[in-house]
């Protein structure tokens, strides 16, 4: 349970431009934070074009310069709502759930006619492979191995543990540590380091936000796509 006097900062990385819906959601979250007993006291913005380095700069600045108890990471194409913020805030706990992710959706087939949506929550299969948490459980708090960094609330108590485990290392490398240096992604790398340090990751599957891509990838689209996909499969299985 988060204590009344604990404070939170909002941090994000961008390339100098953000979506208008992101700004609208950000302002809404800040304005309603007090009413939701979520005291947002500051924000941190890191501009650039190398996301791994930007995230590391934000992490270090929060760790060394800011005094807030919590940091809410939000990507600049995510649309925050007060309801989602409240769910994350009510779920997080510095002892038992120090890192809690919300849920948004991505598609690896952006050039296709119809994008296939998946939640950005993962469980490990191998060193280079993850599987989506799909179908997505409805409105539950679950454990998972990794997530995207688009909407993550974390407590500052994890910093000493991470730094002791990985002294003088980037927390947001984009490649494996092996000789092949295979690309994995800075968010997956971070959560694998966190898992190895003994820090659990939870996700609230009811804390759903829109992800602004070619069009809004949200839960309505996710549900509609996979409902129709199941209907088509059943139709193909029926005899002519």
Structure confidence at residue 126 (pLDDT): 83
Highest mean pLDDT among 35-39, 200-204, 224-228: 200-204
Question: What is the pLDDT at residue 180?
Answer: 54
Residue scoring higher pLDDT (111 or 21): 21
Instruction: From 87, 82, 90, select the one nearest 6 (Cα to Cα).
Output: 90
- pLDDT tens per residue across span 111-139: 556 778 999 999 998 877 899 999 999 99
Q: Indicate whether 109 pLDDT > 70.
A: no
**What residue has token string 């087939």?**
109
Residues 199 and 95 sit within 8 Å (Cβ to Cβ): no
Q: How far apart are CA 128 and CA 28, in angstroms?
A: 38
Percent of the chain past pLDDT 90, that is, above it, reads 66
How far is 81 from 168, CA to CA, in rounded Å? 36
Q: Give dist(CA 230, CA 228) in Å, integer.
A: 5
- Global pTM reads 0.86
Do 182 and 173 contact (CB within 8 A), yes or no? no
Euclidean distance between CA atoms 55 and 114, whole angstroms: 31
3-class SS of residue 152: strand
């Amino acid at each position: 349970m988060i204590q009344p006097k604990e404070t939170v900062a909002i941090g994000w990385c961008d390339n100098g431009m953000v979506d208008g819906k992101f700004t609208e959601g950000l302002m809404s979250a800040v304005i309603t934070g007090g009413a939701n007993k979520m005291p947002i006291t500051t924000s941190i913005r890191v501009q650039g074009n190398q996301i791994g380095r930007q995230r590391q700069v934000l992490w270090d600045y929060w760790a060394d310069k800011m005094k807030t108890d919590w940091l809410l990471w939000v990507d600049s194409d995510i649309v925050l709502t007060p309801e989602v913020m409240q769910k994350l805030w009510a779920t997080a706990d510095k002892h038992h759930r120090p890192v809690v992710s919300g849920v948004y959706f991505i598609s690896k087939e952006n050039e296709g006619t119809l994008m296939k949506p998946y939640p950005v929550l993962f469980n490990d299969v191998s060193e280079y492979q993850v599987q989506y948490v799909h179908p997505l459980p409805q409105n539950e708090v679950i454990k998972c191995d990794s997530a995207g960094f688009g909407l993550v609330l974390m407590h500052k108590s994890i910093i000493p543990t991470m730094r002791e485990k990985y002294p003088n290392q980037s927390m947001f490398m984009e490649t494996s540590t092996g000789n092949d240096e295979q690309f994995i992604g800075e968010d997956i790398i971070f959560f694998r380091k966190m898992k190895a340090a003994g820090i659990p990751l939870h996700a609230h599957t009811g804390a759903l936000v829109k992800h602004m891509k070619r069009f809004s990838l949200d839960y309505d689209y996710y549900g509609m796509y996979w409902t129709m996909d199941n209907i088509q499969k059943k139709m193909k299985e029926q005899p002519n």
